[in-house]
């Protein structure tokens, strides 16, 4: 460290390094716990932190993404960038073509703007069903969710139980701030989706995502026409139960 660093800056560096060390220890531990475990990656900033933590240290955690058929071109390009940087091929899961065709034929291509019910049905077809296939046969899965992202995630735990699939679920970045995420990405020169620089902190399907305005939470641009306290796609709600008596990772604060 250079001598012109202030005590405050040095303390900040030390705090970030401690957070990084704890993250790596946590990911190491959950990788050791489970014979088959996967990271569900949206290819956005948080998941790129976890992708780097896994691939740069050759951990036995598979990584997959849900290719909904409505993603931004910039998001899809992240698959190539990961291959180039890490030599790893992200596994992609697509929706069932018959279900997509039936939805479009019955309701229209962009019917999700018409009601929450139709939006959730679209998410079920394009995200939830492919996720179920992606997680078939695994012992646990990992996500990049953070408490700070929205009101629907304020009570997020680092370890949960996915009761519907009867597997464990981990959110290693639950207590990370947005600033800490970006500090990690910068420190390790991790490739990131260029949409982030255009005001998209949370990136989903193109027709359902917009840039956020100053002062909005990071998921305000997702399904912006809906109530802010119900904006989830079905991947992370209703089936997840935290077991207070379950053993917690030794890296828990």
Q: Nearest Cα to 44, choosing from 238, 161, 219, 214? A: 219
Task: Give the model confidence (pLDDT) of 134-168 as tens digits.
Answer: 999 999 999 999 988 766 666 789 999 998 899 99
Domain annotation for the chain: domains and CATH numbers: 9-241 (3.40.50.620)
Position 153 scores a pLDDT of 65
Catalytic (active-site) positions: 233
Task: Give the model confidence (pLDDT) of 178-208 as tens digits.
Answer: 999 999 999 999 999 999 999 998 899 999 9
Q: Tell me 11's DSSP state.
A: H
- Rounded to two decimals, what is the model's pTM? 0.85
Q: Quick one: CA dihedral 184, 186, 187, 190, positive or negative?
A: positive
Residues in the chain: 253
Are 45 and 192 a contacting pair, CB within 8 Å? Answer: yes
Task: Give the model confidence (pLDDT) of 78-119 as tens digits.
Answer: 999 999 999 999 999 999 999 999 999 999 999 999 998 999
Burial 192-210 (b: 16+ CB within 10 A, else e): bbebbeeebbbbbbeebbe
Sort strands 167-170 and 140-142 into parallel, antiparallel or unpaired. parallel
Are 238 and 215 a contacting pair, CB within 8 Å? Answer: no
């Amino acid at each position: 460290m250079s001598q012109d660093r202030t005590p405050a800056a040095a303390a900040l560096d030390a705090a970030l390094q401690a957070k990084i060390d704890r993250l790596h220890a946590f990911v190491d531990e959950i990788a050791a716990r489970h014979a088959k475990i996967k990271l569900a990656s949206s290819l956005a900033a948080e998941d790129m932190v976890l992708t780097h933590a896994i691939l740069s240290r050759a951990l036995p955690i598979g990584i997959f993404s849900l290719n909904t058929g409505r993603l931004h071109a910039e998001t899809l390009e992240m698959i190539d960038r990961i291959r180039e940087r890490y030599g790893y091929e992200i596994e992609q899961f697509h929706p069932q073509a018959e279900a997509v065709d039936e939805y479009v034929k019955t309701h229209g291509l962009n019917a999700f703007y018409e009601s929450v019910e139709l939006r959730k049905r679209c998410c079920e077809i394009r995200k939830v069903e492919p996720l179920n296939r992606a997680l078939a046969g695994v012992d646990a899965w990992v996500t990049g969710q953070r408490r700070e992202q929205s009101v629907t995630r304020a009570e997020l735990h680092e370890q949960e139980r996915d009761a519907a699939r009867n597997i464990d679920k981990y959110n290693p970045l639950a207590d990370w701030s947005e600033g800490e995420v970006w500090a990690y990405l910068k420190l390790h020169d991790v490739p990131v989706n260029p949409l982030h620089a255009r005001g998209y902190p949370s990136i989903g399907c193109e027709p359902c995502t917009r840039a956020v305005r100053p002062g909005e939470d990071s998921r305000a641009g997702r399904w912006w026409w809906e109530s802010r306290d119900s904006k989830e796609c079905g991947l992370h709600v209703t089936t997840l139960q935290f077991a207070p008596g379950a053993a917690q990772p030794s890296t828990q604060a």
